[in-house]
Every structure is written in C-alpha cells, then in structure tokens.
Structure 1
C-alpha cells in the first residue's frame, strides 16, 4: 500500500496589504517590505498576494480608499 502524500506545509508568513498609490495603480506589498508589486488592476494584485501568501486565509487586507500606498513606505 503506498504512503499517502503528507499535506503541504508552508513557511510563508507573508501578510499583504493591497490598495492604490497616488497615481491610481494597484499596489500589493507584504507588511515586512520584503516583496510586492505594482499592478494594472485590483484582481492582479489580489492574485499576486494570494500566491505569495500560499493561499493562507486572512493573509490579505485592503487599505482604506483614502490611504495611498507605496512599495517603499
């Protein structure tokens, strides 16, 4: 009888914030400032953050509409 494959465990502890920058681009960046990107649309930013956080529930939050994000702050 073959051994079942153990569930995939993740060392990813990235938590992301997603929002707009001052020019209207979508920003997704981790809260530690280790990874992130600038995206043309909201869905692309969400996909990036989802993949980078290894699909962890609660790993993504959205900045308030009044906040302006940057990759560098």
Structure 2
C-alpha cells in the first residue's frame, strides 16, 4: 500500500494577509494569524509590507473586494 502525505487544512489554503481600505480611507493590512498588521497611506505600501512579512510567498496576500470595508482591530494587552 502507498503512503499518504500530510493533510493540508482548509485554513492553510487561505491567504495570510488581506489588504483593503478602512472607513477612513486608510489602507489596512490584516493578518489572519493576528501577528502583525497596520495602517498605510497607499496600497503600494500596504502590499509591500504584507508581501515582505510572508517572504513574497505566492497567494499569501489578497486584495479585499472593491467597496468592501476592512477594519484593523488592535488587541490591547491588559
């Protein structure tokens, strides 16, 4: 019988980062793993940051749909 390789979870097939605009018009990077993210003045800067965080891995960065509002929710450690 043949061996079976490791199973990939559904979540591992999703992009790690989403780039879009918040309700103020700032460009936002949201990390699915809640490790990093931020607000940017341009789409180019946001995509550059996200791509660098994932070593330019293909498919790791996606753009939110046009008109979709993306909000950055900061976690405050207390």
Per the normalisation by structure 2, the TM-score is: 0.70
What is the count of residue pairs matched by the alignment? 61
**4+ long deviations beyond 3 Å:** none
What is the aligned partner in structure 2 of residue 53 from structure 1?
54
* Alpha-carbon distance between aligned partners in 1 of 2:68 and 2:33, rounded to the nearest angstrom: 18
What is the aligned partner in structure 2 of residue 29 from structure 1?
30
Listed one character per residue, the Cα deviations across residues 21-68 of structure 1 (whole Å, up to 9, x for unaligned) are 000000011112221010000000010001001110110001112211
Q: Provide structure 2 residue ranges, at least 5 long, that are not aligned to the other structure.
A: 1-11
Q: Provide structure 1 residue ranges, at least 5 long, that are not aligned to the other structure.
A: 1-12
